Structure 1
Amino acid sequence: MIGIVVVSHSPALAEAAVALALQMTGDTRPAIAIAAGAGEGVIGTDAVRVADAIDEVASPDGVLVFMDLGSAVLSTTMALEFRASTTEVRLSSAPFVEGIVAGVVLAAAGASLDEAEREASSAMTAKNAQPGSAAPAEAPATQAEVDVAVTAEATIVNDVGLHARPASVIVAKMAGFDAKVTIADADDPGRSASASSLLALMGLGLGKGTRLRISGTGADAAEAVEWLRAITADGYGE
C-alpha cells in the first residue's frame, strides 16, 4: 500500500483535510504522515520535517505527497535530498483537499502509485465539469464496447444521494473488478462518470430520485454492474 504525506503551512488545515479523507476509508487506512508548520506556533514548512514524514510512511509501493502552497513545494523538493529512504516519491500537483481525499481513498483501496496520482490530479477536471464550466469531451465508446456492454438501471433512494461516502465505497469495490463501469443519469446521459473515479462521481451531484444507467464492459462487467445496481437500490447502506 502506498504511503501518503501531507505538507502544509498549517497543522490545523492538514489535520482537518486528513480527517475528512479518513471518514471515507473504513477500517483499511494507508500510512499517512503530516509535516505541517515550521515550529511551535509558527506558520510555514520545514524540509527536515518533510523528509522525516516521507521516511515514516515509505513503502515498496511508493509515497504520494500533497502540498498546500508554493513554499511547501520548495520544502518538499529539498526534503528529497535529506530523506533516508529510497522508495519512489511523487509530488502531486492536485488541489490540496480534493487531492488528499482522492489519494487516501485510492491508497486504502490498494491502488498503485500511478493510479492514485492520476485520480488525485483529475480533481480539477471534475470541478470543471460542474454547471457553468465547459466539460471535457470524452472519447466515444468503440463499437466493440457497445456490443458487449452490460447495462442495468437503479434509482437513488438515500436522502443525500451519491455523496462522498457512497462514492468512496464504489471506487474501492470497483478496484477489485476487471471491468470498466460507467454511471450516468438515465434522463440526462451527459452527466456520466467512471465508477472508478472518486472525484468524478462526487462531481456529478446526483441526488435522491435520480434514475441511474449503469454500464460496464470487461470480464467482470456483469458482476460489477449487478453489485452497483444492488447497492444503489439498497441506499448505499445508509
Structure 2
Amino acid sequence: MSKVVMTAFVEHWLAALLLALVVFLVKNRFNHGFQKYPGPFLASLTDWWRFFDVLGRRPEVTHIKLHKKHGDIVRLGPNVLSFANPAALRTIYGLSKGFVKSDFYPVQQALAKGSRLPTLFSTTDENYHAQLRRCISSAFSMTALIQYEPFVDEAMLKFLEQTESLFSSKFAVCDFARWLQWYAFDAIGAITYSKRHGFIDNAEDIDGMVSHLGWLFSYVAPVCSLTQTIVRSV
C-alpha cells in the first residue's frame, strides 16, 4: 500500500503540494473564526503579508490607515488582531489574563555563554516577569520618583540653555526630535547614574548610542516578524 501511495505521490507531487498549500491557506483564513474581523485579505492567509509590511519600516502608518477604514479591531495575520481601543489595554496586557507574549520577544534576548538572558521586556514567562518586577518596583514608587525630580530639572535647564544658545538666539533651525532624544538619554542617565551622559552638553550623539539603537530597532523589527512568520508556517 505504501508503495502505491509513494508512486502516486511521485506522479502527482505538484498537485499534492498545491492541494496542501490550499488547505493551509484556507485553514489560516478561517483560523479560530477570525474571518469575521476585517483586514487585508492576504493578511488573513499568511503572516508573510505582515512581514513585508514591517520590512518597509513604517507598519504604524499601515495600522492607522486600516483602523480608520475598519474600526477598532483589524486582522493583521491568520492569528493576529490589532486593537485601537484603549479599553482593551488592561485585558490584553494585564497579568494573568491568559494572553502570552508572541515569538516576537524571545528573539530580542541577549546571549551569554550560549544561554538566553531574558529581561522584563523580552521574557514570555509570567512568573519570571513577576519576580523581576518585584525586585525593581520600589524604584518606581511615587516616593522614589519624587527623589529623581532634581535630576530631570537639571537636564531640562541644560536643554533650555543649549537650545537657546545654539538655536533660538541665532534664529537657527533645530532638529527638535533629535534634541528631545538627547534630553531623554541625559535625563535617564542622570536618574540612573547621577550623571548625564553629555548629549545635551556636547550637542552630539555620545558614542553613537542613539544611532546604534536606531539601527538595532530597524534590524530587530523585520527579523522578529520573520521569525514569527517562519515559526507559524512550520
TM-score by length of 1: 0.24
Q: Higher strand share goes to which structure?
A: 1
| TM-score normalised by L of structure 2 | 0.25
Work out which of the two has the higher radius of gyration on C-alpha atoms and give 1 or 2. 2
Higher helix share: 2
